[in-house]
């Protein structure tokens, strides 16, 4: 076994790397900000996210020899990533040409193939503590026994999520992790609710991203929006039903011409007798057919110059519909009101992965929503963007946890296959290149997990919104590499749907797109907040 690096040394190196990042923030400010140099801003956001991930691994490094070895390997990887981003752009970053000298010897040692190869079969303990280890075991068992048996069928056939999974998850309390106990959930108002959500999400995503980990994302977003801006009546009406999965939600924010640029959306909500008429088109609304309620962000102020200040959030009830497309209608006269009839059409969007949830383009035509379903009531007019963002910030750390779960599944599959598969008379686990790939995976996954847990603790204290975006930015990109290499270790069989590793690969690709596309997240959220701070 190789010698574990000194945790104090790791801390000093991370501090030095942070100084490089801070200097680049100052350089970006001098250059005019994010829009003046998008390439620097993008690389800076990702470098800062990698350094933040490395910092989160420092406490883990002090827990034992294996922990320090994994953390040391990851710090080496993060520093090498930083070097790759700075090389040839030293002037832009505001550093001298010899800036890497303090890191060189350490990175050289930690990137030695023998170091990384020694970690191939050392994923490391998680140190969750007794309570959260119990949460992990419960959701892992559910994922193994209830989710995984359906995952390949749903993926290959683009089928619907079995109701048995939804009801089973409801019985475990999976939909009420962030709902206060007063409304029938399990949240107690401290860091425990965030930690439990992250732990549960990872295990469910280990079972399947499409029919496991993503099931509880939409209820989480709806819950946070209601807790941030909903009236007491709205919380009392909706949250108990969300907690028991009596009501399932979908989020309708993105539009064909406005993805991450939420402030520009054009779907409108016009006042009418007793409520509002919603008209417009939404796209990439995942789970829309099966959902009982759509969380719709719409423009209530026709003055488009007000941008995000003219948006409000609505809870739009609907019937459950066919997963392969639907048309729903409202009769104004049968509802006892005047005005036009309403229509809602959902067109399914086929995707290469992330199946089961199903995504849709939704066309609203004078769809009536009563006043009671304007989130926040009259006080919520023009506040919808902020309520939605409160939900999305929680969704970002949950997405990081989803990425960790997918990576863990891919690593385990690659490790098992490497032990069994023989090439040129030897199991491929015995080859250096295979072991280096697996060891790199192990270091990345554990660091990503520790960062997700650290951010969950911060969010439990009312902090960590920037860090949640950083976690999503780093971890979701890492998941693409891990799942690709896991598939590569399988060789030709990795390209066959017979092995689930091909599903992990295509599922991982969506992680850097939803809940804030990578480029927009890096430029408009992470980089800008670094400049503000």
In angstroms, the CA 448 to CA 468 distance is 12
Is residue 520 over pLDDT 70?
A: yes
Residue 282 lies in a domain: yes
In angstroms, the CA 130 to CA 10 distance is 28
Q: Quick one: how far is CA 116 from the chain centroid? A: 27
Contact residues for 298 (Cβ-Cβ < 8 A; gap 6+): 265, 267, 268, 269, 276, 278, 280, 311, 312, 313, 314, 384
Tokens 């379903």 map to which residue? Answer: 373
In angstroms, the CA 470 to CA 530 distance is 11
Distances (CA, A) of 373 to 214, 276, 283, 313, 320: 25, 9, 21, 9, 18
Distances (CA, A) of 507 to 111, 260, 410: 29, 20, 11
Contact residues for 64 (Cβ-Cβ < 8 A; gap 6+): 125
CATH number of the domain to which 305 belongs: 2.40.110.10
Of 378, 395, 428, the residue that ends a domain is: 378
pTM (predicted TM-score): 0.93
Residue 267 lies in a domain: yes
Of 111, 127, 162, the residue that ends a domain is: 111
Residue 180 lies in a domain: no
Residue 209 lies in a domain: no
Of 354, 378, 402, the residue that ends a domain is: 378
Phi, psi of 343 (to 5 degrees): -145, 140
Q: Which residues pair with 365 in a beta bridge?
A: 343
In angstroms, the CA 507 to CA 501 distance is 10
Q: Which residues pair with 520 in a beta bridge?
A: none
In angstroms, the CA 346 to CA 359 distance is 9
pLDDT digits (tens, 9 = 90+) for 220-251: 889 989 999 999 999 999 999 999 999 999 99
How many separate domains does the chain show? 2
Q: Which of 481, 487, 482 is nearest to 503 (CA)?
A: 487
pLDDT digits (tens, 9 = 90+) for 197-220: 999 999 999 999 989 988 888 888
Task: Give the CA-trace dihedral at 196, 201, 203, 204, to 10 degrees.
Answer: 130
Average pLDDT over residues 75-87: 96
Residue 460 lies in a domain: no
In angstroms, the CA 336 to CA 332 distance is 6
Among 9-18, 180-189, 206-215, 520-529, the least confident range: 180-189
Residue 54 lies in a domain: yes
Residue 450 lies in a domain: no
Residue 155 lies in a domain: no
Tokens 């969380």 map to which residue? Answer: 295
Mean pLDDT of the chain: 92
In angstroms, the CA 252 to CA 364 distance is 11
Rg (the chain; Cα; Å): 24
Is residue 276 over pLDDT 90?
A: yes
Instruction: List, by residue number, the catalytic residues.
Output: 515
Range of the domain at 62: 7-111
Q: Quick one: how far is CA 248 from the chain centroid? A: 19
In angstroms, the CA 348 to CA 370 distance is 27
Q: Quick one: how far is CA 289 from the chain centroid? A: 22
Place 389 in a pLDDT band, splitting at 50, 70 and 90. confident
């Amino acid at each position: 076994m190789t010698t574990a690096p000194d945790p104090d040394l790791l801390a000093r190196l991370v501090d030095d790397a942070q100084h490089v990042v801070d200097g680049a923030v100052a350089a970006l400010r001098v250059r005019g900000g994010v829009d003046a140099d998008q390439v620097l801003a993008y690389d800076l956001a990702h470098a800062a996210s990698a350094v933040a991930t490395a910092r989160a691994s420092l406490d883990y490094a002090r827990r034992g020899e294996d922990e320090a070895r994994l953390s040391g390997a990851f710090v080496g990887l993060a520093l090498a990533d930083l070097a790759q981003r700075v090389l040839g752009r030293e002037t832009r970053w505001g550093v001298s040409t010899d800036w890497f000298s303090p890191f060189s010897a350490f990175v050289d040692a930690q990137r030695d193939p023998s170091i990384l190869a020694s970690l191939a079969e050392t994923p490391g303990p998680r140190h969750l503590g007794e309570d959260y280890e119990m949460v992990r075991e419960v959701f892992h068992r559910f994922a193994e026994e209830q989710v995984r048996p359906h995952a390949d069928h749903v993926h290959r056939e683009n089928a619907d999520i079995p109701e048995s999974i939804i009801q089973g998850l409801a019985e475990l309390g999976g939909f009420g992790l962030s709902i206060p106990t007063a409304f029938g959930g399990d949240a107690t108002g401290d860091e425990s609710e965030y930690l439990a959500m992250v732990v549960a999400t990872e295990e469910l995503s280990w079972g399947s991203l499409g029919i496991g980990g993503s099931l509880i994302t939409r209820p989480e977003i709806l819950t946070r929006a209601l807790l941030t801006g909903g009236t007491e009546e709205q919380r009392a009406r909706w949250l108990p039903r969300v907690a028991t999965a009596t009501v399932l939600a979908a989020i309708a924010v993105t539009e064909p011409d406005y993805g991450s640029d939420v402030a520009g959306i054009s779907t409108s909500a016009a006042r009418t007798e007793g409520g509002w008429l919603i008209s417009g088109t939404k796209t990439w609304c995942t789970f829309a057919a099966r959902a009982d309620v759509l969380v719709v962000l719409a423009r209530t102020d026709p003055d488009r110059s007000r941008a995000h200040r003219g948006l409000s959030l609505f809870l739009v009830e609907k019937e459950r519909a066919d997963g392969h497309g639907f048309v729903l209608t409202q009769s104004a006269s049968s509802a006892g009101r005047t005005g036009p009839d309403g229509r809602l059409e959902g067109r399914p969007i086929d995707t290469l992965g992330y199946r089961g949830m199903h995504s849709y383009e939704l066309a609203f035509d004078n769809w009536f929503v009563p006043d009671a379903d304007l989130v926040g009531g009259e006080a919520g007019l023009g506040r919808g963007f902020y309520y939605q963002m409160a939900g999305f910030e929680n969704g970002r750390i949950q997405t990081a946890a989803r990425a960790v779960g997918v990576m863990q599944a891919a690593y385990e599959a690659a490790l098992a296959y490497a032990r069994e598969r023989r090439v040129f008379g030897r199991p491929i686990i015995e080859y250096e290149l295979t072991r280096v790939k697996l060891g790199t995976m192990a270091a990345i996954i554990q660091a990503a997990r520790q960062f997700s847990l650290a951010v969950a603790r911060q969010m439990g204290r009312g902090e960590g919104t920037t860090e949640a975006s950083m976690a999503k930015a780093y971890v979701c990109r890492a998941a693409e590499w891990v799942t690709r290499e896991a598939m590569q270790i399988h060789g030709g069989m990795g390209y066959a749907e017979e092995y689930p590793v091909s599903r992990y690969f295509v599922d991982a690709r969506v992680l850097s797109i939803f809940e804030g596309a990578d480029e927009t997240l890096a430029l408009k959220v992470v980089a800008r907040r670094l400049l503000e701070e």
